[in-house]
Amino acid sequence: MVNAHDLLWGMTPAHLPADAPAWAVEAIGAGHPVVVRRAITQPGLVAVGVRGRLREQRLAAEMPVKAVQWRVIPEALRGVVSPRNLPALRALAALQTVLANESWGVTGSAGFELATGIEALHAQSDLDLILRTPEPLARGDAEDLLAILDTAECAVDLQLQTPFGAVALREWASGSRRVLLKTVSGAHLVLNPWQAVA
């Protein structure tokens, strides 16, 4: 069972679409992992994203489940120490105690770099985090957490992972009546991210 934001190793250039750009073939050929994305696929396949060196180099693809050789989940990356001294990594270190009692992990460029050692972060990079919230998070608690994250050294984008998808902490804390829930079937405006989308 794989989840959005998991990193998977084992994809080969042969698994890429025939019209895949050269940078994607190069990344997969170099043994880089792909990241699981939210999308509906045929049985035996997992929806993944290939990332290149540049921010705009992102390719949606599918990987056979049987090709997966290794999987790293976001939670496994929160304790990884990087030798690099960048705002996103300093922010990650500073937030360890704040999130110590929670089920959380590192995603995005920081997660990719911590998992692979490939430099994906720069001085202006955001820190992307995921917080597993099987039970509803009160909006007041979301506001309190956001206030702490907003004191970090860089912008922190935290996604609340509910049983039905993911919602941005910032949006849930904003007081908006409806919020955007990202699910395998797409994004939906919902009143309650902890309820199945009708």
User: Which residue has 């997969």 as its token pair?
Assistant: 28
Number of domains composing the chain: 2
Do residue 174 and residue 91 come from a single domain? yes
Q: What is the pTM of this model?
A: 0.93
Residue ranges making up the domain that contains 15: 7-72
90 found inside a domain: yes
Do residue 86 and residue 38 come from a single domain? no
Are 43 and 35 in contact by the 8 Å Cβ rule? The answer is no
Q: Residues with catalytic annotation?
A: 126, 128
Are 5 and 130 in contact by the 8 Å Cβ rule? The answer is yes
Are 164 and 197 in contact by the 8 Å Cβ rule? The answer is yes
Query: Per-residue pLDDT averaged across 8-36, rounded?
Result: 96
Are 154 and 91 in contact by the 8 Å Cβ rule? The answer is yes
Q: Is 191 exposed, middle or buried (0-12, 13-18, 19+ CB in 10 A)?
A: exposed
| Both tokens assigned to 186 | 């797409």
Task: Look at residue 127 and give its three-state secondary structure.
Answer: strand
pLDDT in tens, 69-86: 999 999 999 989 999 999
pLDDT in tens, 172-196: 999 899 999 999 999 999 999 999 9
Residue ending a domain, choose from 72, 95, 124? 72
pLDDT at res. 175: 85
DSSP state at residue 139: H
Q: Where are the alpha helices (DSSP H) in 150-197?
A: 169-173
pLDDT in tens, 98-146: 999 999 999 999 999 999 999 999 999 999 999 999 999 999 999 999 9
- Phi (first) and psi of residue 13, to 5 degrees: -55, -30
24 found inside a domain: yes
Do residue 60 and residue 93 come from a single domain? no
Residues comprising the chain, all counted: 198
Do residue 169 and residue 79 come from a single domain? yes
Taking the alpha carbons of 92, 93, 99, 103 in that order, is the dihedral positive or negative? Answer: positive
Pairing status of strand 156-162 against strand 127-132 = parallel
Task: Look at residue 160 and give its three-state secondary structure.
Answer: strand
Do residue 28 and residue 88 come from a single domain? no
Do residue 80 and residue 97 come from a single domain? yes
13 found inside a domain: yes
Comparing CA positions, the residue from 61, 48, 54, 60 lying closest to residue 8 is 48
